[in-house]
Amino acid sequence: MRRIVLLFSLVASLGFAGGAAAAAVVSQDHQGRQIRFDVRAEGVDAEWYAALLRDAPHGDEIATLRIDVVSWGELRSVCGHDAGGCYSRNVMVVPPDQDAQTAHALLHEYGHHLDRSRPVAGAPEPNGTPEWFRARGVAELVRLRSVARDYSLDWERSIAEIFAEDYARLALGGNTTFRIRWLAPPDATVLMALQADLGLGPPPAVVNPPVLKPLTIVEKGSLAPRKRVSVRFGLLGPGRRVTATATFAGAKETRARATLEIRCNGDRVALRTIGSGQRLVRIDQRDLGPAQCTAVLASTSSFSRSFTLHVRLSVVPSDA
């Protein structure tokens, strides 16, 4: 499962009847609340899914949910080809497998249901839950233009998907993958905030700013004489730091080996040269963005040379 995709436009699709005969199954959580299933795949034991939800942190919202367990063919038709599950308006669609990936999909999608069930005052949906919103520093992430309430900045930058991944981590612990690469996994404070939103403990008194993980893009290979290689990247907000490092292998030459350039929105930001006796060059630029940028390594050598180009993106001053 490459990505778990939330598709808000699937309201109509989620209601259609698939090819397999549906079997309604009703289970209960530890407090007697109903957990409702519509099983449309062969050989599925709904109790496996019910046990995961029963043990996961939740509240009365579980009784308003229907979980459709469908074949992979139906899931791809409803949710999209690359999806491992989806959710819309109190209906969750999950695959028939009973493994770690499906467990993650189930709890991730339940996170979307929880998001919808507990609004954050003054913030448009989807927005997570109130204490989580505060502990994750979502308002600051919005100010930095690092997140959006939709998918305009990518799946990983969706507030809804960050919340769902945080909830899956709360429910499954460190035994599951955290799929947001640019943001640190939820710490004890964020998890405490999530539990508080469910009425399972007090809210954290002190919260820390969001921890933005640097993103590094690596390109490597062989660069022919007079050829170039480009790495394109976006800077979503102001205050971005870009560190581009290029290494150029091979014997010394009497002439410069290559140039390394960064351009943003069509303008040159910096240019460095790998001289005849050098193997490495670095550009370190701060206070960039928002912008669309390119790092270009261009050969000025007479020979093909192996190269490695690292482009590291971070936010100043939190990752200075």
Q: Report how far residue 299's alpha carbon sits from residue 1's, in angstroms, rounded to the nearest whole number.
A: 39
> pTM here?
0.76
User: Which residue ranges make up each domain of the chain?
Assistant: 11-197, 215-315
Q: What is the mean pLDDT of residues 283-308?
A: 92
Best CA proximity match to 52, nearest among 6, 100, 117:
100
Q: What is the pLDDT of residues 14-26, one digit of tens each?
A: 443 344 567 899 9
CATH number of 11-197: 3.40.390
Q: Is the pLDDT of residue 318 over 50?
A: no
Q: What is the pLDDT of residues 75-98, one digit of tens each?
A: 999 999 999 999 999 999 999 999
Average pLDDT over the chain, rounded to an integer: 89
Q: What is the pLDDT of residue 21?
A: 60
Q: Which of these CATH numbers, 3.40.50.720, 2.60.120.380, 2.40.30.170, 3.40.50.10470, describes 215-315? A: 2.60.120.380
Query: Of the spans 13-22, 158-167, 272-281, which averages the highest pLDDT?
Result: 158-167
Q: What is the pLDDT of residue 28?
A: 97
The torsion angles phi and psi of 306, rounded to 5 degrees, stand at: -75, 145
- Name the 3-class secondary structure at 164: helix
Q: Report how far residue 166's alpha carbon sits from residue 180's, in angstroms, rounded to the nearest whole number.
A: 9
In percent, the amount of the chain with pLDDT more than 90 equals: 70
Q: What is the pLDDT of residue 236?
A: 83
Confidence bin at 275 (pLDDT 50/70/90): confident
